[in-house]
């Protein structure tokens, strides 16, 4: 392949740590990751003028942005007389214009040992992804239209992305994690707690647009004999599910036998018995139907012997 031919990513980070009180330190870090050498497949047998733009109204749904009903525009459909003409050429996207993907984030952490036997740690992490390939899709519409323009059998398994979503600045995604331990002196009993709050799943809405809703804008049925086309009608990175909050506890008792020791642990996971959704269906026909949720409250008793 040679140097500079593969996709790559670079990361820059910097952090500073400062003691703000005796036995209490704060660490703040900034991180930036960027990607390059994107590739694109250009069907040289067709030109941008061989595509027809169309739009359709999004369904009305209170869970969609603005309650739905907005116009989903910037969609391309290959003209019928060009279907089957294929001369695919894979090259760098930079030959057609600028394409970027950046991630910027920040971590803030605290580490405190206010007294012997007490440890407090935790912090938050936040960041967002920005992408842009508008210059590329303006010259290579087949990058948006999916398999048909590239000579592959028509399929509705992959959702198309409207041209209006070629630039995306995702929401800042934040997670918080806190941990604390306390050892009771003399009796060798330790209490520990772990709390975490993480974002819910990314929400997309892959809507099946039939010829009935497409024809008023396109002026004809979809080419290639397609009965419908699947389109994502929610900008990626802008909607997430319910924040998942979880608290776990541990109680431990240490027993010493000369140079040996044993430890009995009692753990409680998800003490609040919360049930936030972890994964969900993004197909609009069964939109946001949960596919998995946080495991129910769990008790565990364990024993450890060191010799």
The residue extents of the domains of the chain are: 8-306
Contact 229/195 with Cβ under 8 angstroms?
no
Residue 153's pLDDT is what?
A: 43
According to the model, what pLDDT value does residue 4 have?
74
How far apart CA 260 and CA 78 sit, in angstroms, is 75
pLDDT tens, per residue, the chain with 307 residues = 567 778 999 999 999 999 999 999 999 999 999 999 999 999 999 899 999 999 999 999 999 999 999 999 999 998 999 888 889 898 999 999 999 999 999 999 999 999 888 999 999 999 999 999 999 999 998 888 655 555 444 444 456 889 989 999 999 999 999 999 999 888 889 999 999 999 999 999 999 999 999 999 999 999 888 899 999 999 988 999 999 999 999 999 988 887 788 999 999 999 999 999 999 999 999 999 999 999 999 999 999 888 8
What's the rounded Cα separation, in Å, for the pair 204 and 280? 10
Residue 186 φ/ψ region, left for φ over 0, alpha for ψ in the -120 to 50 degree band, beta for the rest: left
E strand segments, the chain: 8-21, 24-36, 39-43, 51-57, 71-78, 88-92, 100-112, 118-132, 167-169, 173-184, 189-198, 206-210, 228-232, 244-257, 260-269, 277-280, 290-293, 298-306
How are beta strands 189-198 and 244-257 bridged, if at all? Answer: antiparallel
Question: Which pLDDT score, from 0 to 100, does residue 189 have?
Answer: 93
């Amino acid at each position: 392949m040679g140097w500079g031919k593969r996709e790559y990513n670079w990361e820059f980070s910097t952090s500073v740590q400062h003691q703000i009180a005796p036995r209490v330190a704060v660490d703040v870090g900034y991180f930036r990751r960027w990607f390059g050498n994107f590739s694109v497949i250009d069907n040289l047998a067709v030109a941008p003028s061989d595509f027809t733009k169309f739009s359709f109204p999004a369904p009305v749904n209170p869970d969609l942005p603005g309650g739905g009903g907005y116009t989903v525009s910037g969609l391309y459909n290959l003209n019928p007389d060009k279907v089957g003409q294929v001369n695919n050429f894979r090259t760098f996207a930079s030959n057609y214009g600028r394409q970027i993907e950046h991630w910027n984030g920040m971590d803030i952490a605290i580490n405190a040992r206010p007294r012997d036997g007490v440890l407090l740690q935790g912090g938050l992490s936040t960041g967002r992804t920005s992408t842009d390939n508008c210059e590329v899709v303006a010259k290579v519409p087949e990058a948006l239209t999916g398999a048909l323009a590239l000579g592959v059998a028509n399929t509705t398994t992959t959702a198309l992305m409207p041209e209006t979503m070629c630039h995306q600045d995702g929401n800042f995604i934040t997670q918080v994690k806190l941990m604390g331990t306390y050892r009771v002196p003399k009796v060798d009993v330790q209490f520990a707690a772990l709390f975490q709050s993480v974002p819910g799943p990314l929400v997309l809405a892959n809507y099946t647009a039939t010829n009935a809703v497409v024809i008023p804008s396109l002026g004809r049925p979809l080419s290639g004999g397609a009965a419908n086309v699947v389109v994502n009608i929610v900008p990626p990175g802008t909607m997430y599910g319910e924040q998942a909050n979880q608290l776990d506890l541990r109680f431990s008792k240490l027993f010493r036998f000369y140079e040996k020791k044993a430890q009995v642990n009692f753990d409680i996971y998800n003490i609040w018995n919360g049930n936030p959704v972890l994964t969900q269906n993004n197909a609009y026909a069964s939109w946001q139907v949960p596919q998995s949720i946080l495991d129910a409250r769990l008790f565990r008793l364990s024993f450890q012997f060191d010799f």
